[in-house]
Chains A and B, each alone.
Chain A
Amino acid sequence: MRSKLRAVLEKATGESVQQLREMSISDRRNMLDARGQQMTIVSRKPVIGRGSVLTDRLVSHEVVEAQLAEALRK
């Protein structure tokens, strides 16, 4: 799975993952600015951001059993 994610990132950006890791964020910003690609800041609430990660949820019988077994082992 990791190699597939790497392949998608490399194909989309045209750079290797190593290059993506090594270039600083400000250098990348400068590079994109020099190409005439202006960054737009948008808001995507409530899809992302604080509170977007579901923590309270219904859990299945199997999950409850697994949690109980884990707790009893401790």
Chain B
Amino acid sequence: MSGEDVWPPHAPQRRPKTLLELFQFYSDYLKPIYAYMQTRNVMASELLVEVNAAFDHLSRLWVYNEPEAHVVAKVYSHLKRACLDIFKLRLVETTDNYKKLCRLDVSLVDNGRYKGAMISAHMDIERLATLARSGEGDVRQDDHAAVRAFDLWEPVFLKCAEFDEQFYAHPAVYWSDAEIERKKRKGLKIAFGLGFLASLAATATVALISLLVSTLA
């Protein structure tokens, strides 16, 4: 692994064994992605519960004199789950965006290339997420060089960010959105006009019939 690929240089890429390693993991890995979630203004209660649970286990080191190794393992399991939750929240956000895009008429964007590329990119995300979901419980490597769950979920996170940038933030999407609104308004106007004409015709027919009846009588 080259130096560039290691972020940050002193981050422990394995399960922490001591309090120092635990806090290094928190500061180096969880804190930046948690801060990222904070800036998105939507926080999941499940994520807050994980962090609270981690704090409770941490307090037991001093309050109940629980062994450090046990406390570190417990805290780490909650913090690791919090990291995985953040990756999954990002996936949920992108999936919601994809569903919104599917409701739009994007068949003409980029001469038809946009829609195919969008579906293909989302299928790629689904494939990686399925792989990550099925392999996230494998902790056999966590004591060695890497945390497998993070190695599996990080590409999903990156693909989601790429998808939103390429497709959800595409300038033509707003045009499509506006076009659909325009078509909806046009449809409503036509329906209102037809309804008005039908009511006029019905009124005229009733008036004509009543005139005929009164004339015959």
Contact = CB atoms under 8 A, between A and B. Distances in A.
Contacts of A5: 7, 154, 157-158
How many residues of A sit at the interface, in one of the four size bands?
35 or more
Interface of A: 1-6, 8-9, 11-13, 15, 17, 20-21, 23, 25, 28-29, 32, 37-45, 47-50, 52-57, 67, 70
A2 B46 contact: no
Interface stretch (B37-45, B58-66, B114-122, B175-183): B37-45
A11 to B, nearest CB: 8
B84 A53 contact: yes
A39 B41 CA distance: 4
B7 A6 contact: yes
B138 to A, nearest CB: 8
Interface string B47-91: 111100000000000000000000000000000010011001100
A44 B32 CA distance: 21
A10 B4 CA distance: 16
B185 interface: no
A57 B137 contact: yes
Contacts of A67: 140
Contact of B157 (A8, A15, A48): A8
Given A2-B6, A12-B39, A42-B43, 16 more contacts: A5-B158, A6-B32, A8-B158, A11-B161, A20-B31, A32-B38, A32-B39, A32-B41, A37-B41, A39-B42, A40-B43, A44-B44, A48-B44, A48-B46, A48-B47, A49-B49
A16 to B, nearest CB: 9
Interface string B123-153: 0000000000110110010000000010100
A54 B33 CA distance: 22
B213 interface: no
A5 B86 CA distance: 13
Interface of B: 4-8, 11, 27-28, 31-36, 38-39, 41-50, 81, 84-85, 88-89, 92, 133-134, 136-137, 140, 149, 151, 154-155, 157-158, 161
B9 to A, nearest CB: 10
A40 B89 CA distance: 14
Given A1-B5, A3-B5, A48-B85, A20 B35 contact: yes
Contacts of A13: 35-36, 39
A73 B137 CA distance: 23
